[in-house]
Amino acid sequence: MKQSILIVDDDDDILSALSLLLQAEGFTSIKADSPAQAIAAIRQYDVSLILMDLNYSLDTTSGEEGLNLINTIRQHNELVPIVVMTGWGTIEVAVAAIKSGANDFIQKPWENDRLLMTINNQIRLAQAQKQSQKLIRHNELLQAEIRPATDIVAESAAMQRVLETLHQVARSDASILLTGENGTGKSLFARLIHELSTRRHAPHISVNMGAVTESLFESEMFGHTKGAFTDAKSARIGRFELADEGTLFLDEIANTPYSQQGKLLRVLEDRQFEKVGSGITQTVDFRLVTATNAELNLAVNAGSFRKDLLYRINTVEIEIPALRYRPEDILPLASAFLAKAAQKYSQPPLEISSAAKKLLQTYAWPGNVRELNHVMERAHILCKTSAVQPSDLGINSIAPVAENIGLDSEQEYLKSLSEMEQEIINRRLSYFGGDALKAAKSLGLSRSAFYRRLEKHEQTER
C-alpha cells in the first residue's frame, strides 16, 4: 500500500515542487495550503507523515500558527510523524516545534536527498513504534485468553463435512458466521480458520461481544486517545486496529448491544473507524469471523439484531452440529479428553468401561463438547479403578435435551404442555430453516407425526 504524505504550506510553488518530488518517490501526496485545510485532510485521510511549514498568512516569522497546528494534530494523533520546514536562521522556532511534538525539522531551501531520507526514517520509526504498541497490547490480550491446546476430533460424517467446508473457505477472505449451540467448538474452529488462512502469521483477535459493556464498547473496539475521557490516562489501541492484517473474531455476535450495532456495521462495511477522542479516520484490513448460538433470523424478526448487519457477516455460514446429532464423535472425544486429563495430572491414562461407554452415547449432552470435556476430567479424578465406570461420570441418560425453553423461569410454569410443545416445534422448525423433515427427525418423530402436531397447534391458534 502506498504511504500518503500531507504537505502543508501556503506557498503554491513549494506545494507543487514537494508533491512532484514525493510522487516520484512512490508516495501519495495530499496538499493543504492552510492549517484549517490540514486539519480537514487529517480527518479525511489516513496519512503516514505530515510535512509542514511553520508560518502562514497571519504573520511570517513567529511560527505561532505552525506551533498551534502541531498541538492540534498531537491532540488527535500521538504517533503520526511531523516534519517541519523552517527558514534559515530560525533555529529557536525549530526547537519550539520539536517541543510541541514535531519529530524532526529541515531547513528551507531543502536538499531533496536529505528531505527524503528524513521522511523515510520518520515513517520507519513510526511504524516500529506502532508495531511495538500493538505487540504490548496483543500480549495483554493473550494473557487473558485461555488457549485451547486441543487436537480436533472429527470422526462423524457431519463433522468431516464441516471441516471440509472450513478448509475450503478459510483461504478466501470471506466473512464467516459460525453457528451452533454452546460448547460445540465454534471458538476452536474460528481459530482453525485463522490458522488455515493466509493471515495466520498476523494476530487472531477475539472479542466476546456479550462481555463488552455498552459504555466501554467504543473505547474497547476503536481505542481512544489520551485524555479522550476522564479515565483515559493513556492512549489505547482498539481491537479493530489490533486485528489489522489478521483475523477479527467476534464471538456471541447476537449479544452486541443494539445501540452499537450501527457503529459495528460501519467498520465492517468500510474497514474504517476513528479512535474515541480523535477525528482521524483509520483504515484497517482484517478477515471477519463471527459466532453465535442464537437464531439470528429470529433476532432480526424480533428487532434485536440489525438485518443489514446479518447480511454483512454471513457471507458463508457454517453450522457446527450439536454433539447429540453426531454420536460417532462422542467416544473418540471422550478418550481424547481422558488422555488429556491423565497428562495434566501426570497419571497413567484410564480405560472406559463398556457400561460407561453406553451411558456416554445415550446421554443428550446439552452442553456439547465442553460438557463432555468436563465430565471426562472429573471422571479421571473420581475413578478408583483402571477403567471409568458410569458412576464416575455424574450424568444420567435421561437428562433433558437442551431446548433452551427456560424450564426454570416462572413463566414456564404457567405454560401448558401443549404450549411448550408448540414452542419446541416452532423453534426446531426455524432452527432447521423450515425443513420439516430435519426438524421431525431431530425430535424423533416421523414427518407425518410432526405435521399432525404442527396442524393441531395451527388449529388451536385460530
Q: Which residues bind ligand ADP (CB under 6 A)?
A: 148, 150, 152-154, 180, 182-188, 333, 369-370, 373
Question: Residue 146 Cβ, how far from ligand ADP at the closest point, in Å?
Answer: 9
Which of these ranges, 91-99, 181-189, 304-312, 409-417, lies near Mg ion under the rule CB under 5 A?
Answer: 181-189
Question: Residue 338 Cβ, how far from ligand ADP at the closest point, in Å?
Answer: 13
323 binds, among Mg ion, ligand ADP, none (CB under 5 to 8 A by kind): none
Question: Residue 340 Cβ, how far from ligand ADP at the closest point, in Å?
Answer: 9
Strand partners, 236: 224
**127 vs 182, which CB is nearer to Mg ion?**
182
**338 vs 369, which CB is nearer to ligand ADP?**
369
Half-sphere exposure of 281 (CA within 13 A, CB side): 13
182 binds, among Mg ion, ligand ADP, none (CB under 5 to 8 A by kind): ligand ADP
Q: What is the DSSP string of 126-194?
A: HHHHHHHHHHHHHHHHHHHSPPP-PPP---SHHHHHHHHHHHHHHTS---EEEE-STTSSHHHHHHHHH
Residue type, 444: G
**90 vs 293, which CB is nearer to Mg ion?**
293
CA 306/CA 295 separation, integer angstroms: 13
- 8 A C-beta contact, residue 329 and residue 156: yes
**181 vs 220, which CB is nearer to Mg ion?**
181
Q: Which backbone phi and psi does 27 adopt, to 5 degrees?
A: -90, 160
- 8 A C-beta contact, residue 437 and residue 454: no
Q: Is 187 a residue that touches Mg ion (CB under 5 A)? A: yes
Question: Residue 183 Cβ, how far from ligand ADP at the closest point, in Å?
Answer: 5
Q: Which positions ≥6 away from 434 have C-beta within 8 Å?
A: none
**186 vs 324, which CB is nearer to ligand ADP?**
186
CA 329/CA 324 separation, integer angstroms: 9
CA 151/CA 156 separation, integer angstroms: 15
Buried b (16+ CB within 10 A) or exposed e, 208-223: ebeebeeeebbbbbbb
**316 vs 369, which CB is nearer to ligand ADP?**
369
Q: Measured at CB, which residue is nearest to ligand ADP?
A: 185
430 binds, among ligand ADP, Mg ion, none (CB under 5 to 8 A by kind): none
Q: Is 118 a residue that touches Mg ion (CB under 5 A)? A: no
Q: Is 293 a residue that touches Mg ion (CB under 5 A)? A: no
Distance of CA 383 to the CA centre of its chain: 40
**83 vs 289, which CB is nearer to ligand ADP?**
289
Question: Residue 343 Cβ, how far from ligand ADP at the closest point, in Å?
Answer: 14
Count residues contacting Mg ion (CB under 5 A)? 1
Question: Residue 414 Cβ, how far from ligand ADP at the closest point, in Å?
Answer: 31
Show contacts of 8-14: CB within 8 Å, 24+ apart. Answer: 8/32, 8/33, 8/34, 8/35, 8/37, 8/38, 8/50, 8/51, 8/52, 8/53, 8/69, 9/33, 9/52, 9/53, 9/85, 10/34, 10/53, 10/55, 10/56, 10/57, 11/53, 14/53, 14/108
**209 vs 299, which CB is nearer to Mg ion?**
209
Question: Residue 358 Cβ, how far from ligand ADP at the closest point, in Å?
Answer: 22
**235 vs 369, which CB is nearer to Mg ion?**
369
66 binds, among Mg ion, ligand ADP, none (CB under 5 to 8 A by kind): none
Question: Residue 253 Cβ, how far from ligand ADP at the closest point, in Å?
Answer: 12
Cell of 114: 536529505
| Dihedral in degrees, nearest 10, Cα atoms 440, 442, 445, 447 | 20
Question: Residue 251 Cβ, how far from Mg ion at the closest point, in Å?
Answer: 5
Q: Which residues bind Mg ion (CB under 5 A)?
A: 187
